[in-house]
Amino acid sequence: MEQKSSLQLQDFLPYRLSVLSNNVSSLLASLYTEKFGISIPEWRMVAVLGEEPGLTSTQIASRVAMDKVAVTRAVQNLIEKRLVRRSSSQADGRVSHLNLTKAGQRVYDDVVPMALAVEHQVWGALNPAEKDYWDEMLSKMERRVSTLRDELLEINK
């Protein structure tokens, strides 16, 4: 299998992904930050708690690809903003369960359609068949990258 020998940043997959991802994220963030004053990690927490109420910090961290420090901070901010409520677990004194407040639920209900609309707009670049194909390929790449990562960790252990 032949391989390129020079590197054009504009054609380089990691670079293109990074730029596209940043542009999509900031497009989306520009909508909810100015309207609701929440950051990207805060929005992710709201989104995941909207889907699955009562999660603990650790559960959120694993679902949202944030580290536990980032979760702690997002929780603190969202509690200050009265969008999230914390209730300590009876079963385990170390953990607490997190839920959206009424106000948090309202933010969720307002942002979800906006977020889906942005996604829909971006999908507008592709026809339905292309979209399905893209989804499939994206999944393949995701799996491949996480395999590569595991291999690398294994080697460096």
Positions in the binding site for DNA (CB under 7 A): 39-41, 56-59, 67-73, 75-76, 92-96
Residues 92-121 as x/- pattern, contact with a second copy by CB under 8 A: --------------------x--xxxxxxx
CA distances for 2 relative to 5, 48, 57, 144, 145, angstroms:
9, 43, 46, 20, 21
Taking the least distance from each CB to DNA, the nearer of 89 and 121 is 89
Residue 33, number of CB atoms within 10 A of its CB:
15
Taking the least distance from each CB to a second copy, the nearer of 13 and 91 is 13
Q: What are the tokens at 111?
A: 């942002």
Q: Which of residues 20-59 bind a second copy (CB under 8 A)?
A: 20-25, 27-28, 30, 44, 47-48, 50-51
84: β partners: 100
